[in-house]
Each structure stands twice: as C-alpha cells, then as structure tokens.
C-alpha cells in the first residue's frame, strides 16, 4: 500500500519523525516543538528537523488531488515504500 492521500502522506511523515525521535532518544513531539525547544540537539539533528519541516509544509500546502506527487523530489524512493504490519519498508 502506497501513501496516496494527503492524510496518509502526513501520517507517513509522522511515522518517520517518530522513528527519528526513537533512534535519537528524543521525546516524540512535533518537529518544530523539538527544534525550537530547549532540547539539546546536534547540528545534524537540527538540519534533519528543518528539512523535515520543509517537506511537511510542501506536502500540506501544495497538495491537490490531481497534482504531481512532490514526495518523490525529497525521498527519491518514496513510491517504492510499502506498508505492512505497522512498518514501512522498501
């Protein structure tokens, strides 16, 4: 199953953020709450969160049901992802 609607794309991005938080031992909050909080972050984590926020905003603002999918621009293998048993995989 591929994310095809705005809601499933944003749900996918939420899952990606949750995974990032788990792997980096960061409380699972919104990306901007993490980025602009007092949580100590590495430069890599800050850059990752800024890029994540940019992708989220593009998907949320530019999505129309008949538009070309912008996710492929940011995640080249996006359309190759599959969802099964609450996990995303290629």
Express each pLDDT in 25-67 by its tens digit: 999 999 999 999 999 999 999 999 999 999 988 888 766 444 4
75 Cβ contact partners less than 8 Å away, ≥ 6 residues apart: 55
Is 71:9 a contact under the CB 8 Å cutoff? yes
pLDDT attached to residue 6: 65
Amino acid 47: pLDDT? 95
pTM of the model: 0.63
The model's pLDDT over 3-27, given as tens digits with 9 standing for 90+, comes to 567 678 888 999 999 999 999 999 9
| Per-residue confidence (pLDDT) for residue 4, from 0 to 100 | 60
Beta bridge partners of 89: 82
């Amino acid at each position: 199953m591929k994310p095809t609607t705005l809601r499933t794309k944003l749900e996918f991005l939420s899952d990606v953020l949750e995974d990032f938080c788990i792997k980096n031992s960061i409380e699972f909050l919104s990306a901007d709450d993490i980025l602009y909080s007092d949580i100590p972050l590495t430069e890599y984590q800050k850059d990752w969160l800024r890029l994540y926020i940019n992708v989220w905003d593009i998907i949320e603002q530019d999505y129309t049901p008949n538009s070309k999918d912008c996710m492929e621009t940011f995640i080249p293998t996006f359309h190759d992802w599959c969802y099964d048993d609450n996990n995303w995989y290629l």
